[in-house]
Amino acid sequence: MSVAQVRGGVPHVFRDTAVTTTGRHHNLPVFCFYLKARCQGNPCKLYFTKADFDNDTDQYVYIPVTNFTTGEIGWEGPVEAGEYWVRGIGGNSEVEIVTFQRRA
């Protein structure tokens, strides 16, 4: 029997610069079930497949510019992923992504 995990999980924090031209790839140590993202400087795109990232398709999550000092979150939601890619829009973007990893 499986029980849905509705909260908790081990947080994993990723902070980096999402470059407009090359972007950034990040492998998670384990699959996540929830994600919170924010960025400063410029908005960014968050992709969940390499093909979408490479082709810059419309299959991404748009993350607007937020205020880091107030703790504002640009986007959050349930996500089951083991990796993701980010790319700044209109310039480099300082990105902070917190994923909540599944518990064993």
How many structural domains comprise the chain?
1
Q: Please check whether residue 1 lies inside any domain of the structure.
A: no
29-54 residue pLDDT tens: 989 999 999 999 999 999 999 999 99
Q: What gap in Å lies between CA 1 and CA 94, rounded to an integer? A: 42
Q: Please check whether residue 94 lies inside any domain of the structure.
A: yes
Average pLDDT over residues 61-87: 94
Q: Encoding tokens for residue 12?
A: 């994993």
Q: Please check whether residue 3 lies inside any domain of the structure.
A: no
The angle at the Cα of 96, spanning 92 to 101, to the nearest 5 degrees, equals 140
Q: Encoding tokens for residue 42?
A: 């410029």
Average pLDDT over residues 55-75: 93
Domain with residue 45: its CATH number is 2.60.120.10
Q: CA nearest 61: which of 82, 83, 43, 42? A: 43
Q: Residue 4 pLDDT > 70, yes or no?
A: no
Q: What gap in Å lies between CA 75 and CA 70, rounded to an integer? A: 15
Q: Residue 74 belongs to what domain range?
A: 10-101
